[in-house]
């Protein structure tokens, strides 16, 4: 559900996409993925509601994302610069006066769905042990500037039997497609362990979320 929702979220901004951007369909699939344990789906729900100018719902999802991403094992913990920036972008539109009511909504959501979310949470983001080849150039967006905000992208990688990369597709990116173009270049440096002798030559596929944190902000719990 997460990947299908991501395709509808990115829509025509993904090269070769077969679907148009559809926030309604994206919300359907990503919302279901979120309550089944997909922490990244929670972030995308916040981005969708922000884009639709539903600021209260956006902040609900941003706070839910912030709660659960902090519960992931430290080795699987996303950089929280993105969480901080997400909350700030929504707060710029919403203001702070609504926060007490929003936190009541968030606590009600957690009480209702926590068991299902914890049962479904999978922090193993890739099925292959991927490693980048040595870097020779800085990662720059198409504009020639370093990406100005934190975010993440979903890529689908195809590997040859010898572990070399056959192809990579950008499936989705938040908060904007331009960041995804930059992060796709990082994915193009991945390799995978070679297949065992006699295992065949079929391509292997791996989903790879790539987090980017520009280091400007950190999330903090406000009491």
pLDDT recorded at residue 76: 59
Q: Which of 110, 92, 93, 90 is closest to 34 using CA atoms?
A: 110
What is the percent of the chain with per-residue pLDDT over 70, rounded to a whole number? Answer: 79
77-81, 90-94, 115-119, 197-201: least confidently modelled range: 77-81
pLDDT recorded at residue 70: 82
**Residues 109 and 154 reside in one and the same domain:** no
Over 50: is that where the pLDDT of 50 sits?
Answer: yes
**Residues 38 and 68 reside in one and the same domain:** yes
pLDDT recorded at residue 139: 38
Q: pLDDT tens digits, residue range 124-183?
A: 334 445 555 554 443 333 444 444 478 999 999 999 999 999 999 999 999 988 889 889
Over 70: is that where the pLDDT of 78 sits?
Answer: no
C-alpha 113/C-alpha 61 separation (Å) is 13
Q: pLDDT tens digits, residue range 60-76?
A: 999 999 888 888 766 55
Quote the distance between the C-alpha of residue 125 and its chain's center.
10
**Residues 138 and 182 reside in one and the same domain:** yes
As a whole number, mean pLDDT of residues 197-214 equals 87
**Residues 194 and 103 reside in one and the same domain:** no
**Residues 87 and 42 reside in one and the same domain:** yes
Domain span including residue 200:
131-212
**Residues 17 and 116 reside in one and the same domain:** yes
As a whole number, mean pLDDT of residues 106-120 equals 90
Q: Identify the three-state secondary structure at position 204.
A: strand
pTM for this predicted structure = 0.80
Cα-Cα-Cα-Cα dihedral of 182, 45, 56, 105, to 10°? -140
Complete DSSP assignment for 8-71: HHHGGGSTT-SS---HHHHHHHHHHHHHTT-HHHHHHHHHHHHHTT-HHHHHHHHHHHHHHHTT
End-to-end CA distance of the chain: 34
Average pLDDT, the chain: 82
* Residue 121's pLDDT band (cuts 50, 70, 90): low
Last residue of a domain, one of 92, 120, 148: 120
Residue written as tokens 């990579």? 168
């Amino acid at each position: 559900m997460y990947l299908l929702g991501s395709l509808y979220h990115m829509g025509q901004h993904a090269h070769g996409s077969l679907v148009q951007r559809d926030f309604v369909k994206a919300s359907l699939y990503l919302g279901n993925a979120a309550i089944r344990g997909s922490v990244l789906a929670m972030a995308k729900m916040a981005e969708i509601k922000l884009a639709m100018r539903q600021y209260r719902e956006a902040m609900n999802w941003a706070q839910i994302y912030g709660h659960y991403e902090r519960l992931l094992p430290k080795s699987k913990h996303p950089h929280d610069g993105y969480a901080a920036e997400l909350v700030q972008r929504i707060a710029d539109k919403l203001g702070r006066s609504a926060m007490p009511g929003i936190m009541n909504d968030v606590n009600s959501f957690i009480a209702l769905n926590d068991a299902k979310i914890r049962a479904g949470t999978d922090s193993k983001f890739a099925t292959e042990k991927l490693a980048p080849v040595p870097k020779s150039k800085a990662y720059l967006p198409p504009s020639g500037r370093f990406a100005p905000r934190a975010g993440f992208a979903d890529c689908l990688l195809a590997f040859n039997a010898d572990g070399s990369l056959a192809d990579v597709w950008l499936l989705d990116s938040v908060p904007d497609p331009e960041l995804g173009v930059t992060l796709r270049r990082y994915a193009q440096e991945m390799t995978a362990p070679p297949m065992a002798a006699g295992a065949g030559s079929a391509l292997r596929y791996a989903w790879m979320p790539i987090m980017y944190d520009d280091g400007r902000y950190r999330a903090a719990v406000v009491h």
